[in-house]
Chains A and B, each alone.
Chain A
Amino acid sequence: MQNFLGEFYFFIEVLISGLLTGTLYSLIALGFVLIFKASGVFNFAQGAMMLFAALSFVGIQEKLGVPWPVAFVLAVLIMVILAYLVDKLVLGKLVNQEPIILFMATIGITFFIDGFGQTVWGSDIKVLDIGIPTGPLFIFDILIDKLELVAGVVAGVMVAGLAIFFSKTKVGRALRAVADDHQAALSVGISLHHIWIIVWSVAGLVGLIAGIMWGTKLGVQFSLSLVALKALPVLILGGFTSIPGAIVGGLIIGAGEKLAEIYIGPFIGGAIENWFAYMLAMVFLLFRPQGLFGEKIIERV
């Protein structure tokens, strides 16, 4: 009985930590969703943007010696400038192209930001510490990572904020209009360029926040952009167009991969997390090809 209870506790512990890790993935997936929702672009550069934002944030602190809130504001400013440039130099020139071409353009952006960020801020590892609590927390002897708890709260706040932004503000409504139909939005006087700049800036902000959370966990270095690969299954599971989907997807993927690693992994050799997340997402997709919360794909000939 004691043993069974112990096992049960362990199961709960794995489940909770999986769910919390999942919210960390969600933070990155959110950035993808925002841009896909508003412009139909699968933004390959989201991981690079996260790295760039975090690098700028730490770099500004290091080089200018300013307190972190100031650095935060400056980093947001940098991301806004980046959004402006992306619209001006890349997307603005590719209006009306097929999705795959826009996707490729974001690959180009990825390379550019990766190179540029490292040129400006260097590629050595940087410590990011702005006082986010880290370390363990034991509740009934169940281990919880404080950082992940904070990440969960941050993700919740961001989703709520974005939901309000999309449904209550004028800009948000304009965003949804653009997402529904570019031409119709244009004809009622919504500027596509403004909308894209706003969306990319917001995605940059989301990237910055995700970058700060992950940077606290890993230190700011090139590997940070690899984290984006962890967000892709979350994204397809939740659906490319749904903000709550990103959160729910994150929870499912996070819990799923941890449970699989611990309960299936040892029998087949371990280290299955990476592909298991993708397999899980693929199985879900077989039943709902547009993801859990994605908009239904209607095809006509």
Chain B
Amino acid sequence: MFYRESGQFSSSYKQDQAIFPLRQDRIGLILILLVAFFGVPLVASDYLISAIFIPFLILALAALGLNVLTGYAGQLSLGTGGFMAVGAFMAYKFATGMPEMPIVLVLLMGGLMSAGVGIMFGIPSLRIKGFYLAVATLAAQFFIEWLFIKVGWFTNYSASGVITAPPLAIGLPFTSLEYVFDTSAKKYIFTLCFVVVLALATKNLIRSHIGRGWMAIRDMDIAAEIIGFKPLQTKLSAFAVSSFLCGVAGALWAFVHLGTVEPEAFGINRSFSILFMIIIGGLGSIMGAFIGAAFITLLPIFLNNVPPMLGMNLAVDLVVHIEFMVFGIMIVFFLIVEPHGLARLWSIGKEKLRTWPFPY
């Protein structure tokens, strides 16, 4: 009833190939964007914005990156944290080495550098597959982390290896005017712009020849090769796009969220948690990356906040242990109910909405 496509006709190929062919989808997306751009910064408190929404958006971007590689191209990777680190540290180098470079370009350059590193570590994927590849990508994770700790050049020879991001400011060309993103609401908008643009770009990329190549490789690489997708280009392009998104996410993490960052912020736990995001959200789904990121970032905070609000005064360590247990139970529960992630639940829901209230 609410979600019925009857009566919506495409009268040109252009309409037929639209990114969101259904009117309801378009309206929904516009509503979400309106809320995200205007509702959240106006209504949400400082705490919600700076400690929850900003990290959520950045991690969703990283999850999107991993989803390109793992969900769409079928290459299991545990090196996400490493690629994020490349983005963060290279962006820092660009920002300090070339102070006149605009900040947006700095962040994108961080992503590009990360894409280069991603291609390098993607080469073994031509021979190594499945879980073997997952463990091999850990080599990337540990090596990159070590590199940034060891090589002083990356951190401008800071004693402890911690980098301090310069302030976020966009200068107007040909003037000395600057717009500084200093409050959390401004930083939020800044992050949101990045995430929305990149997510839409990824969505489009996936609908293109390249994206179909990734999915073909994922489903059966030999068959994909036979129908004309070159494994080398296809796999490496997946690594490149994935690392680019992760790299930008890492740079945003350093520049927007934390302000200062040490290599351990992109440790192995970060890689795992992003993998969990796409697994729980749904492999091979843009929506899934966002739902998964929301689930993983919000659930612990939520569980932490609930007992005190219900008047229970539990010891903090017990709360964390319970959080671990609930988290584990929920993962297993979701897998049993719906092995393809929360995004799948969402699409089942849409199916139901289409026929509701007369399913037969």
Residues of A within 8 A of B (CB): 42, 89-90, 93-94, 97-101, 103-105, 107-116, 118-119, 123, 229, 232-233, 235-236, 240, 268-272, 274-275, 278-279, 281-282, 285-286, 289-291, 297, 299-301
Are B124 and A285 in touch, CB under 8 angstroms? yes
Q: What's the dominant secondary structure at chain A's contact region?
A: helix
Are B135 and A236 in touch, CB under 8 angstroms? yes
Q: Which of A94, A115, A281 contacts B323 (CB 8 A)?
A: A115
Are B328 and A115 in touch, CB under 8 angstroms? yes
B145 surroundings in chain A (CB, below 8 A): 275
A101 surroundings in chain B (CB, below 8 A): 335, 339
Number of interface residues of B (CB under 8 A): 45
A282 surroundings in chain B (CB, below 8 A): 124, 128, 136, 139
Are A109 and B136 in touch, CB under 8 angstroms? no
- Complex CA gap A93/B337 in Å reads 9
Q: How many whole Å from B354's CB to the nearest CB in chain A? A: 27
- 8 interchain pairs (CB within 8 A)? A99-B130, A107-B328, A116-B325, A118-B324, A233-B135, A291-B132, A301-B222, A301-B226
Q: Which of A104, A235, A300 contacts B135 (CB 8 A)?
A: A235
Residues of B within 8 A of A (CB): 76, 124, 127-132, 135-136, 138-139, 142-143, 145-146, 149-151, 220, 222-223, 226, 268, 276, 279-280, 283, 317-318, 320-325, 327-332, 335-336, 339
Closest 5 interchain pairs by CB?
A115-B324, A112-B328, A108-B331, A111-B328, A278-B139
Q: How many whole Å from B198's CB to the nearest CB in chain A? A: 25
Are A108 and B328 in touch, CB under 8 angstroms? yes
- Complex CA gap A99/B223 in Å reads 21
Q: Which of B76, B146, B223, B327 contacts A111 (CB 8 A)?
A: B327
Are A114 and B131 in touch, CB under 8 angstroms? no
Are B335 and A116 in touch, CB under 8 angstroms? no
Are B130 and A274 in touch, CB under 8 angstroms? no
A236 surroundings in chain B (CB, below 8 A): 131-132, 135-136
- Complex CA gap A282/B237 in Å reads 21
B328 surroundings in chain A (CB, below 8 A): 107-115
- Complex CA gap A232/B150 in Å reads 24
Are B325 and A119 in touch, CB under 8 angstroms? yes
Q: What residue in chain B is nearest A101 (Cβ atoms)?
A: B339
- 14 more CB-based (< 8 A) A-B contacts, given A229-B268, A274-B142, A279-B143: A100-B283, A107-B328, A108-B331, A110-B328, A111-B331, A114-B328, A116-B324, A268-B150, A271-B149, A278-B142, A285-B127, A285-B132, A285-B136, A299-B222
